[in-house]
Amino acid sequence: MPITKTIIKINNLNKSYKKEQVLKELNWQVNQGDIVGLLGKNGAGKSTLLKSLLNIEEIDSGEITLFGEKHQHLTAQIKGRIGYVPQENDEISWLSISDLIKFRKQFYHQWSDEKVAELIERWDINTKKTIAELSPGQVQRVLIILALAPMPELIVFDEPAAALDPAARREFLKEIVSLASDENITIVFSTHIVSDLERVANKVAILEQGKICYFDDLDTTKENVVQLTIRQTDENDIDVPNVLRCRKYQQGQNCVVSKLDQNWLVEMRNKGVEITVTPMGLEDIFLELTL
Amino acid sequence: MDQFTISPSSGVPIYKQLFSQIERMVLNGYFPVGDHLPSVRQVATNLEVNPMTVSKAYGLLEERGYLTRLRGKGMVVAQRDEAVSQQEKFKMLNKMIEELLIQAQQMGINEQEVIALVAKNATENSPKSKKDKE
C-alpha cells in the first residue's frame, strides 16, 4: 500500500467578517490524489474557506498546513505547487492575454508553455485581446489556463464552472479528468452544479454552519444514503436505524437514512416487512444532509 | 467509441453502473474472450468521469474473474469455466426476476399470475410464433 500523504490539514479554523462568524472551529483533511467537490448553500462560506486556506484571507485563529507547511509561511517552492482559480477575476485588465501570460510566467520556476498553447488552441482564446475585452466565460478559461500552466500539484477552483456555458463546462471537465489521471494531483473545487461533481469527484464535502459537516467518498455516500419505502400492516412504527427523516403514510413510512443498516434490513425482511431501497442522486442527498 | 453509457446523477455509483454494463457485455458475448477493453484513460475521457471510477469498475471485474490484466496490454476478457459463466448468467437473471416479483407483489399480482404472464410472453415472442404471425 502506498502511503497517503496529507496535502491540506485544517485544525480549529475560525474566521469572521466583522461580527459574523463564517467558519467555526472547522476541521478538515484532504489527501493526495483526492478530487474533492465542496458543496454548500449560497453564503455557506465556500469561498471564504478556500481563500483562508490559501492565505488570501487572514484567519482569526486555527492552524492550516499545505504540503506540511504552515499556510502563512509557505516557501516559494510550495507556493509554486499550488494553483488557484478565483471566482472573481482580479487580473490586470489592460494587458493582452499573451502579455499577461508572459508576466505571470516570471513568478514561477516551473511553467509549461506546451500546456498553455494546447489549452489556448483548444479553448479558442484570442491572445491579442485584453481581459477587459473577453466574455466572462473566456475570462474564466484564461484564469484556468494561468492556474494550470505551472503544473501545480494542488489545484483549488472556486466555482470554476459558474461562468461557463454547458459546452465549455464539458471541456473543463475533460481537463479535470485528464489532470486526475495523475495520482499525485489533488483538486478541490467548490460548486453548486452537483452533476459536475458527480462525474469527476471521488469525495464530497459539505460546508454548513461554519463546519465541514460531511466528508466522504462519493460512491460510499451514494451507497449509504438511500430512501426506504416501508410497507407495514400493523399499527406499531418500525424503528429505522440512522434515520434522517421519515414521513408516515397510511400503509407505512417513507424514510431517508444516512447509512443503510444491512443487518437490520435482512432482519426486517425476514419478519415479513416489505422494504424497498431506492438509491438517491447527489442533489437529493445534499438537500437531505443539509436540512 | 461510446460503448458505455452512464447516468451520473443516478443514485447508483458510476463504478457500479460500469461494472454491471461490462458484466452483461461479457456474458452476452459482446466482448468475446481475449478481447481488449478500452484503457482506463480512454473510458474516463470519453465519459468525462474520474479515472479512479473506471479503475474501480475494472478492478472489481478482475476480482470477479471477468477480466484479466495483461502486463502492458491492459484488460482483456478472461477465459472462464463454462459452468461458472452459466451460473453468473442465472444469477443476473435471478436478480431481475426478484425485482419483477417485488414489483408484482406491490401491485397485488401473485406469483402464479406472474409465471403465467411470463409463459404467455415467451410463446408469443418466440421466433417460431413470430414467423407464424407473418
Q: Which three cell numbers stand for residue A192?
A: 453548486
pLDDT class for A193, splitting at 50, 70, 90? confident
Does A2 score more than 70 pLDDT? no
Does the beta carbon of A208 lie under 8 angstroms from any beta carbon of chain B?
no
How far, in Å, CA of B58 to CA of B4, rounded? Answer: 13
Flag if B11 and A222 touch (Cβ within 8 Å).
Answer: yes
Q: Which three cell numbers stand for residue A90?
A: 482580479
Give the ipTM of the model, two decimals please.
0.80
Does B124 score more than 90 pLDDT? no
Q: Which three cell numbers stand for residue A143?
A: 484564469
How far, in Å, CA of A157 to CA of A47, rounded? Answer: 10
Flag if A200 and B50 touch (Cβ within 8 Å).
Answer: yes
Residue pair A193/A203 in contact by the 8 Å Cβ criterion:
no
Q: What is the pLDDT of residues A126-140, one digit of tens each?
A: 999 998 888 888 888
Q: How far is Cα of residue A200 from the mean position of the Cα atoms in its chain?
A: 10
Q: What is the pLDDT of residues B30-60, one digit of tens each?
A: 999 999 999 998 999 889 899 999 999 999 9
Q: What is the pLDDT of residues B60-117, one digit of tens each?
A: 999 999 999 988 888 999 988 888 888 888 988 998 898 898 888 878 898 899 999 9
Q: How confident is the model over A70-89, as a mean pLDDT?
A: 89
**Which tops the pLDDT comparison, A160 or A125?**
A125
pLDDT class for B131, splitting at 50, 70, 90? low
- The chain-wide mean pLDDT, for chain A, equals 89
How far, in Å, CA of A119 to CA of A113, rounded? Answer: 10
Residue pair A180/A200 in contact by the 8 Å Cβ criterion:
yes
How far, in Å, CA of A193 to CA of A197, rounded? Answer: 7
Whose CA is closest to B59, among B45, B83, B40, B46? B40
* Percent of chain A whose pLDDT exceeds 90: 54
Residues 53..112 of A with a Cβ closer than 8 Å to B: which? none
